Chains A and B, each alone.
Chain A
Amino acid sequence: MADGESISREHVTVLILAVLRDSPAHGYHIMREVERRTGSDIKLRRVTLYLILRDLEADGLITSVWEHEERARHVFRLTQAGLDELEKRLEKWNRFVRAMYRATGEDFRE
């Protein structure tokens, strides 16, 4: 349906933070997880993901570490500030969706 460029950067950021809330993950996993959760309706471009992760790290919303198990992996983890930011954005998002449903008289369509 949409790639990471055509949907707003803000929405992609919420998706990434939501994936990281459940467990720390590396870039490849985040991309695949977003695809899986959205039923492949949203596909992130790798560069978009990279730029957003970089911004989130610079803003202190996530941290990254190199984990060395079988192979070296750059793993991203949500910080408390990131969790708070996610909650704030989800609340805003919920208000918007509720308002839209109320305004249009529509029910959620699966």
Chain B
Amino acid sequence: MNEPHDILSRETDRFKRPPLRAYDQTADDIAAADMVEDYLDHQMAPLIGLIPLEERRRIRRDLADYLANDVNELAEEGRSRLDCVRSVIAEYGDTRAAADEILDHWLHQKDGNGRLSRRFGVPKIYAAIYFGVATSVVGILAQIHISAVNSQSNPLPVGFGLSPAQLRTFIPSSLPLPESSPTFGTLIAALFALPITAGVLTGWTAIVHPARACYHVMLIMIMFSFASGVLMLPACYGLMIAVLQMLYWLPVGCLFAHIGGIARRYYACRYRETP
């Protein structure tokens, strides 16, 4: 006796829509709601792994409320819901830029941050620390090298199979010849490796607009290096470092800061259980 009823109820269930959106009536409304969901997914995606789940939920809920408010306002003008959602989403703008703003706010403008961080922005503070340390290391290595050269009577140049006179045809007289001493080798290695390291670390920790932060900080560092270089004359290592910072550290630091930021975002996308 129960079987026909069961079949009927099963058949009826097959045609029931899940009660996802109680207020939606038309296909247009459903498309509008889907568009909002899709927009919010895109908006939240860059925040995954960087902002805690609880906070992300709150942001999503707030943004959904705001969107709904705005759509309702426009709907009162008699426009279709889908049309209103399109307009509101267009006004909200690029999801990546908006996500960056949210991320920057969350990561860098917390109440716990000091006055310096709030004034200059945390990314610049990170960049100043990493590039400041890098510049200091290079400065110390240069000083050690100058002391080592002064204690030697004749530092041997690296020949590359060429005599010192032949090397001079390639290197201007104002610049020192490459030397075979370990301190010189360390100095050169540090000069080339440190901006990469400092850039990646800045990108990894700052995340939002790290290249911009590097650029601003490096400009100040270069001026500082020039001033220090002038003070170190007649030894021209200081000026050499300043020139190298301008031609190599600045572009490479910014590039690797950008790469570091991307790497951090990429790493954050991978699921890891949070404690």
Task: Give A contacts to B, CB under 8 Å.
Answer: 5, 26-29, 45-48, 50-51, 54, 71-74
Contact = CB atoms under 8 A, between A and B. Distances in A.
A50 B63 CA distance: 8
Contacts of B62: 50, 54
A71 B65 CA distance: 12
A50 B69 contact: no
Contact of A28 (B70, B93, B102, B105): B70
Given A28-B70, A73-B69, A73-B72, A46 B101 contact: no
Contacts of A72: 68, 72
B69 A47 contact: no
Q: Which 3 residue pairs are nearest across A and B when measured between Cβ atoms?
A: A47-B98, A71-B72, A28-B73
Contact of A51 (B68, B91, B105): B105
Contacts of B92: 46-47
Given A5-B101, A45-B98, A45-B101, A50 B72 contact: no
Given A45-B93, A46-B91, A46-B93, A51 B101 contact: yes
Given A47-B102, A73-B69, 17 more contacts: A26-B69, A26-B73, A27-B66, A28-B70, A29-B73, A46-B66, A46-B91, A46-B98, A47-B93, A47-B101, A50-B62, A50-B63, A50-B66, A51-B101, A71-B72, A71-B76, A73-B72
Do most interface residues of chain A lie in helix, strand or loop, or is the interface mixed?
helix
Contacts of B98: 45-47
Contacts of B93: 45-47
Contacts of A74: 65-66, 69
A73 B66 CA distance: 9
Interface size class of B (residues with CB under 8 A): 10 to 19
A46 B93 CA distance: 8
A48 B101 CA distance: 8
A29 B73 CA distance: 9
22 contacts: A26-B73, A27-B66, A27-B69, A27-B70, A28-B69, A28-B73, A29-B73, A45-B98, A45-B101, A46-B70, A46-B91, A46-B92, A46-B93, A46-B98, A47-B92, A47-B101, A47-B102, A50-B63, A54-B62, A72-B72, A73-B69, A73-B72
B74 to A, nearest CB: 8
B46 to A, nearest CB: 12
A53 to B, nearest CB: 9
A23 to B, nearest CB: 16
Nearest to A43: B91
Contacts of A50: 62-63, 66
A47 to B, nearest CB: 4
Contacts of B76: 71
Contacts of A5: 101
Nearest to A5: B101
Contacts of A45: 93, 98, 101
A1 B52 CA distance: 36
